[in-house]
Structure 1
Amino acid sequence: MTVYQKLLDVQSELKAPKNQRNTFGNYNYRSAEDIKEAVKPILAKHKATILVDINISESANGWVYEEARAIFVDVETGDKVEVKGYAREPENKKGMDPSQISGASNSYATKYALNGLLLLDDTKDADSNEYQEQVSQKSKTQPRKSQPKKISDAVVTGYEAALKSVAEKNGSDIAVITSWFLGNLKVHKLEDITEDQVTEANGYIERLQKGKEE
């Protein structure tokens, strides 16, 4: 069994409910810690683990970025699959000291990397600064129709890994598998998939795993 097949099995079995609650914003969300706890027993079952590595860098304009690398490791062979997630540290945040600001950015970056690696739909996880700013802005203006948001690079990488795993498992042409997947979603490339299509896309991945390409 390849590392991609193991990852696909973990992705298919993982259920990571949104157990956190923001009573002020009236929404549920999942944290990076929730994802880790949910995936641990499944990783043990498939003799695999996930390592998370954080790198911090500063851009020319002074912004500090945190890069999280979520690395799926096949314990039996040492083979790996890696997905990255990013978060920018705000210059300041009311009521938080520098270490807390860095910790929050670390958590966001880690969660985004895990989302991409494990194909978790984060569309309604409204716990990021960007989402809160968007909600605040919308409350001041009249609602208007916007273009659907595309999936992140991390999720694109996750789909690429899943499709490759299916092709290797079935001895199929990756181009044919990918074409079927994109055709059902009515998009030209993985980067065109929107966040609203993630649940549907995950369903097609499961069908491919079961060998159903009707």
Structure 2
Amino acid sequence: MNEEKEMSFHEKYCQLVMKLNTPKDIKNDFAGFDYRTAEGILKAVKLVCIDLELKNIVVITTEEVEFKEGRFYKRVTATITDGINKYTSTFSAREPESKPKMDESQVSGSASTYGRKYALQNLLMISDDVDPDSLDNSKEGLPNPKKATKTQLDALKKHSNEIAQLAKLEGIAFFEQITEKKFGQSVDINKINTEQLTTLNRYLNELEKYYKGKK
């Protein structure tokens, strides 16, 4: 009797990324927005691994302190591994000089929390272009993402349609499905900004590898 072939580490990673759904389930009533947490992401990862029976897959975060230009940064590395192979993503969060009603340990902890979340989001291709997280002040003064150009949108449409054909799905339905997974809601392909474009291109590249590998 033939035994079913064990999936490679990359195939397991693709399966996890495609199945993972991490809605912004924490509500900030004072500021009027919803956000997700590192703990919520890790919980969702565990549920997908159980559901898909992805054996030996572990996602962890580690951190170290950096001192640059008179300020402390928490450099967080998120890692997914099967004990042999691994992928990593790193994110640095600067400790604020002060935070109202927080002591020094809480200020340091807020940078760790923020860094963990964004390192995990980068690793697992979770978009967060609009997420005014309650502890975040690291993006103050940065410009909002620009709208993707027509050339970029045309290339995205072409790539998405090609993978939809590999997946044997209708193009528009396929695009709605992947934006729902990555952004928590369906997004009009003509209104994608540059940050969303980067996330979707990374995701589509992984999907392409996965579907071509199934041929």
Aligned residue number for residue 59 of structure 2: 50
Q: Does 1:110 align with 2:81?
A: no
Q: Tell me the CA shift for residue 125 of structure 1.
A: 1.4
Q: Counterparts of 1:199 and 1:13 in 2: how far apart (Å)?
A: 16
CA contact (8 A) 2:127 2:196 kept: no
Quote the offset at 1:198 in angstroms.
5.1
2:70 maps to 62
Counterpart residue number, 2:194: 194
How much has 1:115 moved relative to structure 2?
0.5
TM-score by length of 2: 0.64
Q: Secondary structure at the match of 1:126?
A: coil
Structure 1 runs (4+) greater than 4 angstroms displaced: none
Match for 1:50: what amino acid? V
Contact kept, 8 Å, 1:29 with 1:124, in 2: the verdict is no
How far apart, in 2, do the equivalents of 1:2 and 1:118 lie? Answer: 17
Matched with 1:188 is none
Structure 2 CA distance for aligned equivalents of residues 3 and 207 of structure 1? 14
Cα contact 2:75–2:92 (8 A) shared by 1: yes
**Amino acid aligned to 1:148:** K
Give the CA deviation at 1:91: 1.3
Which consecutive unaligned segments of at least 5 residues does structure 2 have?
1-6, 149-188
Farther-moved stretch of structure 1 (43-52 vs 201-210): 201-210
> Post-superposition shift, 1:197?
2.2
**Alignment partners' CA distance in 2, 1:42 and 1:5:** 14
Distance 1:113 1:203 in 2: 16
Change (3 A) 1:28 1:202: farther
Output the CA distance in 1 between the equivalents of 2:27 and 2:127. 17
Deviation at 1:26, TM superposition (A): 1.7
Report the identity percentage: 32
Matching residue of 2:125: 119
Offset from partner CA, 1:135-181 (integer Å, 9 cap, x none): 9xxxxxxxxx965289xxxxxxxxxxxxxxxxxxxxxxxxxxxxxxx
Separation of aligned partners in 2, 1:125 and 1:96: 22
- Taking structure 1 as the reference length, the TM-score comes to 0.65
Aligned residue identity for 1:36: L
Aligned residue in 1 for 2:178:
none
Extract unaligned runs of 5+ from structure 1.
Answer: 136-144, 151-184, 186-192
Q: What displacement does 1:207 show?
A: 4.9
Q: Secondary structure at the match of 2:129?
A: coil
Give the structure 2 partner of residue 31 of structure 1: 37
What letter corresponds to residue 13 of structure 2 in structure 1? L
Aligned length: 158
Alpha-carbon RMSD: 2.9
C-alpha displacement of 1:27: 1.5
